[in-house]
Amino acid sequence: AKRKGKNNFQYFDIVMKSEVDLVNLIKSDLRMALEKEQFFLYYQPLVDVRTGKVTSMEALVRWQHPKKGLLSPNHFIPIAEETRQIIPLGEWVLRKACMQMKEWLNMGYSGLSIAVNISVHQLEQLNFANNVLAILKEVELDPQYLELELTETVLVREMEIAAKNLYKLKEAGVKIIVDDFGAGNSSLRYLQEYMVDGLKIDRSFVNEITKDVNKAIIDAAVLLAHRMKLSVAAEGVETREQLDYLIRCGCDKVQGYYFSKPLPPDEATQIAQKVYQD
Ligand code: C2E
Ligand code: CA
Ligand code: CA
Ligand code: CA
């Protein structure tokens, strides 16, 4: 038994060491990845519950790492935030997503908008709003087509800068969405502090919708959103049962594998196309 314990320990030691190695590798490789054009975007549709049509596409970043293969954002976004690489990466994502939206508009899909995930670290930059507006101008995209999804799990340290940025963006017509609603602990504070346009209920509540407590939380979130005149979306919808519940409780938009997983640009375009054909 003693021996086995030791082996187990060594096993975990190796796992932990390779975990640390991976983090270090990502840390150093992140620096060149932008220049080497190793990032790309997938798009996942959000569907309007009432019309059944795609109302927006969420841009989700991917990293084609030369040695590690395709990396999901959970593997590198937290590291990019720590090293501040999220600033140039986030700007790249914004520009790329806005360019894609412009392309869709040129194809005539005017009912669509593009949703982009923003890190709190970006929001705390003095010139963030100006940068976003400059990108919109450069791409010639009307601000009304852009939605910024902000996760509230990380605490905002630079409240004043963040608020100024959000105010400027809202004034220009950009929409602000609180992402992963309910998962953090500052959600309500967020709604009170900033004038947001909508909220997106976290996947964890949708995931176990059969539990009464999750139903109660979803009901409350929808009520709260509508009382505040906000739109309410739910992410991570995988089953008909989940969708039915969300329809019944008055949720406005839904997103998840039940409709579509995140797709490369050409496949996302096909989905948008289908919507505009019927
Ligand atoms: P998120 O913004 O909450 O995005 C939803 C995540 O759930 C995506 O994972 C998506 O692929 C996944 N998902 C969608 N539908 C379903 C479903 O029905 N079931 C399940 N199990 N999962 C579903 P992904 O693409 O790996 O992104 C993970 C997180 O990384 C995102 O969570 C977002 O916070 C962050 N992220 C992605 N792209 C960016 C970006 O460009 N900038 C920043 N700052 N963060 C990003
Ligand atoms: Ca999101
Ligand atoms: Ca989420
Ligand atoms: Ca999120």
Burial zone of 76 (CB within 10 Å; 0-12 exposed, 13-18 middle, 19+ buried) = buried
Report CA(52)–ligand 4 centroid distance (Å). Answer: 23
pLDDT at 116: 98
* For the CA of 257, the nearest atom of ligand 1: 18
Hey, whose CA ends up nearest to atom 10 of ligand 1?
262
pLDDT of residue 62 exceeding 90, the answer is: yes
Q: Which residues line ligand 1 (CB under 6 A)?
A: 44, 60-61, 72-74, 77, 90, 93, 117-119, 149, 151, 179-180, 203, 235-238, 256-257, 262
Residues 68-93 have pLDDT tens digits of: 999 999 999 999 999 999 999 999 99
User: What's the whole-model pTM score?
Assistant: 0.90
Alpha-carbon distances of 71 from 12, 41, 117, 153, 270, rounded to whole Å:
23, 12, 17, 22, 25
pLDDT at 47: 95
What does pLDDT average to over the chain? 90
Hey, whose CA ends up nearest to atom 46 of ligand 1?
117
pLDDT classification of 14: cutoffs 50, 70, 90: low
Report CA(179)–ligand 4 centroid distance (Å). Answer: 5
Report CA(8)–ligand 3 centroid distance (Å). Answer: 33
Cα distance between residue 164 and residue 175, in whole Å: 15
Q: Answer yes or no: are the C-beta atoms of 98 and 261 closer than 8 Å.
A: no
Q: Which ligand is nearest to the CA of 236?
A: 1
Residues 126-153 have pLDDT tens digits of: 999 999 999 999 999 999 999 999 986 5
Cα distance between residue 21 and residue 28, in whole Å: 11
Hey, whose CA ends up nearest to atom 25 of ligand 1?
60
Q: Answer yes or no: are the C-beta atoms of 25 and 69 closer than 8 Å.
A: no
pLDDT classification of 1: cutoffs 50, 70, 90: very low
> By percentage, how much of the chain surpasses pLDDT 90?
72
Report CA(50)–ligand 3 centroid distance (Å). Answer: 23
Average pLDDT value for residue range 247-259: 96
Top pLDDT among 257 and 193 is at 257
Q: Which ligand is nearest to the CA of 77?
A: 1
ipTM of the modeled complex: 0.96
pLDDT at 59: 98
Q: Where are the beta strands (DSSP E) in the chain?
A: 39-48, 54-65, 69-71, 113-118, 146-151, 175-181, 198-201, 231-234, 253-254
Hey, whose CA ends up nearest to atom 40 of ligand 1?
117
Helix (H) or strand (E) holding 170: helix 159-172
pLDDT of residue 278 exceeding 60, the answer is: no
